Structure 1
């Protein structure tokens, strides 16, 4: 197995797409859209897996590398993984743009973007058997995407630079943090940013359908935000020493920087939320439909859910109380008591991405 990955959130390079397209294996039959209704053909999936192209799900994102390794071992196939980093909306637009020459098989998206993918018509009418483990709001009504694991909007701080660590969302408003906090933009391209906005709404007395308290806080926080990017490098250099990310990314970033002798602390603010991620598969990639179906099912297996947990991402079935995790799968987790006040949003399907993005523009950017 070989994995190729550009950094997550990097722009798509046309030259990479061209080379990836030439690697697609030939399939001995011509699949049709109607074939999405058929069960997985495992033998066909083994052939299709030889070159696996994804968007926004590199090996290092929530442990997708191990997920793919476990799937290959379970079904006895070999593969080469190519990934290009994108935001949720970029993935959907890419699936749509390449409909006549499909390359991507799957992509990791924030759960808010599942209905967007459905409306755009880029996901198939296929739900895998393991989708039965999820409630209706955590999977597509018609098919093509399922929730996988959860991220909790959190704060990571370079404590070598910031000695007085902020302990809450409200603490970030203190003048001493001006220009030190990573920017948040919930205008519609990425799930992490939008989930953070929703978390602020809950933290200050609102909800997913009452965003006004979150917008009020965001307007105050915007002047505090740094101009630099939210990366490990800017954290390491102390250029943006306070960053807002999902907890599992904070945990991984802190561990990597510790190996370089840089000290960080991860804060789970009161009033934050469990924000599920999901995996979508490309309706137009008929030549890869069997490995797509297999992936859509496998991410909800015990093996894949444990792999996500090992990275620090709390798997969706565990959050739902449907999975017992071995102790070794939780070694990178923060203490459970830090999560005692984390909120579960009751119905993600009730949140409209376009409306939320427009609310941010109207009430934060132009507010």
Structure 2
């Protein structure tokens, strides 16, 4: 799918509007970043949210900057640990930028792991999805779904309760370790909501009970699910973000065929956030990366990867979204029951899940 190359924010950047007082114009920022010569990212699989094409477009736009991609399969907790572990390291193992789950943004700020920076399009990012000081800001969102290998699964599950059926023995996996991965932590929340738990600590507890039952039934597979494990048959059903499932479906191109199902209940929408490491060895390249991601071009790049970019409403209002990108998304009604948990609800759920997984479920996901 061709992404528009129009960079509508360039004029705003050139004027300095929306940027902190100390910030450079876009040209000055690009020149400073070029002198640094490198950007170190972390936890950005190319199939996730269209990141492969987004990174390629950034490199084409700024060829003087080498993109150093660290640990693409890391979880949000791993990203924060990478910052902690490299506080005094200016080498290539120190990440400049982070893409982490919503609940991890405030944690990173509180620990002093991030630095403030407001992109030029700051005012078009919803207030509830950003730190007022600019330490973190929402980038995109999706909903948790079932990604099903229909070569191996005859009856495709439609809701969480279906996953407990005997026909799904050794079939169901999470797309991350629920002790560290935001995607997996929120999957436990979604299961808990489907069992009647309120969003927060209660959903975490109910979700743990569900996964204990799933594990006791012999249906849970303690393997981190991804396109390869689905194709190999090791994890015929993976609970993952809708955009990951849709990207895997495209990558596998029918071998095997995949069906992506948004469950009838327990639909959780997850917002991820961007941040710049407080110890970024290449701070100007990090800022330039943020400016690119939050430009129209960068936002449409995520949309091409099936993610709803955080500036979606602004893009839609200005009529800059190609119809082909809108047509490629799941139908709007799939999102009607989606719950957008608050930071407090996510924090309560996260504490329950990460603290109780080993004791309640006892499955070592890896």
Distance 2:60 2:222 in 1: 44
For structure 2, the 5+ residue unaligned runs are: 1-19
Larger mean Cα displacement after TM superposition, 182-191 or 91-100: 182-191
Q: State the partner residue of 2:34.
A: 47
Q: State the partner residue of 1:8.
A: none
Q: State the partner residue of 2:336.
A: 340
Distance 1:215 1:58 in 2: 27
Q: In 2 relative to 1, CA 289–229 (structure 1 residues): closer, same or farther, beyond 3 Å?
A: closer
Larger mean Cα displacement after TM superposition, 43-52 or 161-170: 43-52
Contact 2:116–2:136 under 8 Å retained in 1: no
Contact 1:46–1:77 under 8 Å retained in 2: no
Q: In 2 relative to 1, CA 322–251 (structure 1 residues): closer, same or farther, beyond 3 Å?
A: same
Larger mean Cα displacement after TM superposition, 188-197 or 49-58: 49-58
Distance 2:23 2:45 in 1: 27
Q: What pairs with 1:242-257 in structure 2 (closer than 5 Å)? A: 242-257=237-252
Is 1:237 the equivalent of 2:232? yes
Q: Using the TM superposition, give the Cα deviation of residue 195 of structure 1 relative to its aligned residue in structure 2, in angstroms.
A: 1.3
Q: Render the CA deviation track for 1:300-319: whole Å, top value 9, x for unaligned.
A: 2222111111111121222x
Q: In 2 relative to 1, CA 360–228 (structure 1 residues): closer, same or farther, beyond 3 Å?
A: closer
Q: Using the TM superposition, give the Cα deviation of residue 140 of structure 1 relative to its aligned residue in structure 2, in angstroms.
A: 2.4
Larger mean Cα displacement after TM superposition, 325-334 or 164-173: 325-334
Is 1:82 the equivalent of 2:82? no
Q: In 2 relative to 1, CA 37–194 (structure 1 residues): closer, same or farther, beyond 3 Å?
A: farther
Q: What pairs with 1:1-367 in structure 2 (closer than 5 Å)? A: 38-40=22-24, 41-48=28-35, 50-71=37-58, 77-84=63-70, 85=72, 86-102=74-90, 103-183=94-174, 187-209=178-200, 210-211=202-203, 212-223=205-216, 224-259=219-254, 261-270=255-264, 271-285=266-280, 287-318=281-312, 321-324=313-316, 325-345=321-341, 347-352=342-347, 353-361=350-358, 363-365=360-362
Q: Using the TM superposition, give the Cα deviation of residue 174 of structure 1 relative to its aligned residue in structure 2, in angstroms.
A: 0.3
Q: Using the TM superposition, give the Cα deviation of residue 110 of structure 1 relative to its aligned residue in structure 2, in angstroms.
A: 1.3
Q: State the partner residue of 2:12.
A: none
Q: In 2 relative to 1, CA 177–203 (structure 1 residues): closer, same or farther, beyond 3 Å?
A: same
Contact 1:89–1:189 under 8 Å retained in 2: yes
Q: Render the CA deviation track for 1:254-296: whole Å, top value 9, x for unaligned.
A: 122225x3211111112211101122211112x5212212222
Distance 1:231 1:118 in 2: 30
- Which structure would you say has the larger RCO, counting Cα contacts within 8 Å and 6 or more residues apart? 2
Larger mean Cα displacement after TM superposition, 134-143 or 82-91: 134-143
Distance 1:310 1:183 in 2: 24
Count of matched residue positions in the alignment of Structure 1 and Structure 2: 325
Contact 1:307–1:329 under 8 Å retained in 2: no
Q: Using the TM superposition, give the Cα deviation of residue 123 of structure 1 relative to its aligned residue in structure 2, in angstroms.
A: 0.5
Structure 1 segments, 4+ long, off by >6 Å, are none
Q: In 2 relative to 1, CA 98–262 (structure 1 residues): closer, same or farther, beyond 3 Å?
A: same
Report the aligned-residue RMSD: 2.6
Q: Using the TM superposition, give the Cα deviation of residue 227 of structure 1 relative to its aligned residue in structure 2, in angstroms.
A: 4.0
The SS at the match of 2:294 is: coil
The SS at the match of 1:308 is: helix
Contact 2:211–2:361 under 8 Å retained in 1: yes
